[in-house]
Chains A and B, each alone.
Chain A
Amino acid sequence: MCTWIVERTPVDGSAKGPNGWFELNQANVYYDHPYHAPLDHALIIDFVETPDQVGNRVAVELSEAAARRLVASILAALESGEEGHPTRVEVSAATA
C-alpha cells in the first residue's frame, strides 16, 4: 500500500462504460486505498482503453476476500468453458 506498484497487463476484449462499449487494451491491477469503496484497502482493477491518458475506463474496487473469490471464479469458469468448448489446440489437432 502507498506504493506505485501496479501490475500492468495487456488485455484483449471489450468493456462497457458510461459511453458504451470500448476496446480494452490494458488492465492495471493494484492493492491500495480505494477511491470510493468504504474499505481501508482494496484490490483495484482499472480496465482501460488508453493507458497513458484519461479516457474510457471501467474500475472495480474489491475487498481482498472478494478479489480472491473472483480469481477462483474466473479460473473455474475458464476450466468449465474449456471442458464445454473445444480449444483452439484441439480443433487444430482434429483438423490435422
Chain B
Amino acid sequence: MTYRSIMAEEITYRGHEAEQIQAYLARPLGDGPFGSVIVIHHMPGWDAGIMEITRKFAHFGYNAIAPNLYTRFGTGDADEVAAVARAAGGTPDATFVGDMAGAADYLRMMPAANGKVGVIGFCSGGRHAVLAASHLPDLDAAVDCWGGRVIAAPDQLDERHPVAPFDLTPQLNVPLLGIFGNDDRSPTPEQVDQHEAELKKHGKTYEFHRYDGAGHGFFSVNRPAYRPEQATEAWGEVFTWFGRYLSA
C-alpha cells in the first residue's frame, strides 16, 4: 500500500548515553499499524539523498527515521559537519550502536507503530546496518547495500572501529538482505562470497542479491553509478524483505 500523504520533519531522540540525536523522520499519514525502518546515511553525511530515501519508505507505508550520525560533530550545513566528522575519524562504533538502539526505541513508541523495526544502510551505512543487526537482536530485519569494510584487515581497524562486522557473524540474529554490484571494489565480489559463506556456515537467515553491470552505489540517481534496471529490481527486493519481516 502506498501513501500520497506523508509527514516529514526534523526531530531529536535519545541516543547513546541519552544524548540528543538529530534525526529526520518521515511517516505515512494513516492509522497504521506501520512497520518502521532506520535509514543509515553514507559517509558524506546526512544529506538530501538520505532524506529522499527516508520519505520513500514513508510513501510505501513505513515510519522511517534517518539519524544524523554526525550530530556530535557540530551544527550547520551537512557537508561542513561531515568534513569535521571525517577528519576526526568518524563516529565510534559503540556510540553508533547506542544511537541505533535509541532510534529503534523511538520508532517502537510511535502511536501507529506495529513494533517491528528494520534497518537499512548504504555504503559505509551498509557496514553500519550489519553492525547494528549484530549488536541489537531485537531488530527484525536488516539490509546491507554494498557496505564496504564488513570484512576488514587488522590494519583497517582502529580505536573507533575495533571489530569488523564479519567477525560478529556468530552473534547476528536478525534476517539480513544484501544488495551488491558485481563491479564493486568495496566490497569486492570475493568479499561478498566470503561473507555469504560465513552466514551459511553459522546457519543465519539471509539473502544476497548481486547485480551484473552495476558497481558501488548504484541506487544514486544523481551519480554516474546509477543503474536504473538493477536499482529498480533491487528496491523490489528491499521492499519484499521488509514486507516479510516488518509486517504486523
Contacts and interface: CB of A to CB of B under 8 A. Distances in A.
Interface of A: 1-4, 6, 8, 26, 28, 30, 32-36, 38-40, 46, 48, 51-54, 57, 59
A30 B43 CA distance: 12
B45 interface: yes
B73 A2 contact: no
B156 interface: yes
Contacts, number: 82
Interface of B: 42-45, 47, 73-76, 78-84, 86-90, 123-124, 127, 147-149, 156, 158, 160-161, 185-186, 215-217, 220, 222-225
Given A4-B158, A35-B45, A52-B88, 15 more contacts: A1-B148, A2-B147, A3-B148, A4-B86, A4-B89, A4-B90, A6-B86, A28-B86, A33-B43, A35-B44, A35-B47, A35-B78, A40-B220, A40-B225, A54-B73
Question: Chain B's interface: helix, strand, loop or mixed, by majority?
Answer: loop
A49 to B, nearest CB: 12
A4 B83 CA distance: 11
B161 A4 contact: yes
B161 A2 contact: no
B87 A28 contact: yes
Contacts of B45: 35
A53 B88 CA distance: 9
17 contacts: A2-B43, A2-B149, A3-B186, A4-B160, A6-B89, A28-B83, A32-B44, A33-B43, A38-B223, A39-B223, A40-B220, A40-B225, A46-B83, A53-B74, A54-B74, A54-B76, A54-B84
A36 B79 contact: yes
